[in-house]
Structure 1
Amino acid sequence: MEKIKFMSEELQEEVEFFVLEQTRVSGVSYILVTDSEDDDAECLILKDTSGEGEADSLYEIVEDDVELAAVSKVFEELLEDVEIER
């Protein structure tokens, strides 16, 4: 599992996550991440909000219920053996 580092604006510190999967929906990139490799770990869906052509990606946690439900369904289909509880 790939591990990536993020700079948290709120905490002003580096946070590490494991990337479980990535996808694009309607031209927007999303990644499914977790802070642990355990089977029942909590996960987050992050949305790339950076502009096209920007060198660095800017990810935000998906909080909109409709968007979260739609993207969760896509990740569940991609991972087959994973159930995402919202």
Structure 2
Amino acid sequence: MDEKIILTGEDGEKLELYILEETRIGGMDYILASDVESGDGNCYILKDKSDSADTEAVYEIVEDEKELDYLINLFAELLDDVDLEF
């Protein structure tokens, strides 16, 4: 995937991320993204918190440990050719 998203924090700071993989679980969309296009970088798992009234997607970084562990394993399976370390 060559898609990018730009996250804007509450303080206005922007973070450009490259989408590595997407999945949908229990009606919720999740994205695995990295701050580098290829090679070693920081990875983030984002949850789509948008609703039908939002004009732009609203993402939240997954911080719940149990949810994060589950998603790390799922994305590792989806990307079997990529070595994920968290």
Where on the TM-score scale, by shorter chain, does this alignment land: which range?
0.7 to 0.9
Q: 1:4 deviation in Å?
A: 1.8
2:80 maps to which residue?
A: 80
CA distance in 2, matches of 1:51, 1:80: 32
SS at match of 2:41: coil
Q: 1:28 deviation in Å?
A: 0.5
1:6 maps to which residue?
A: 7
CA RMSD in angstroms comes to 1.6
CA distance in 1, matches of 2:65, 2:3: 27
Q: 1:53 deviation in Å?
A: 5.4
Q: Deviations over 1:20-51 (max 9, x none)?
A: 01001111100011111242211000001122
Q: 1:55 deviation in Å?
A: 2.9
Contact 1:47 1:59 in 2 (8 A): yes
Is there any run of 5+ residues in structure 1 with no aligned partner, and where?
none
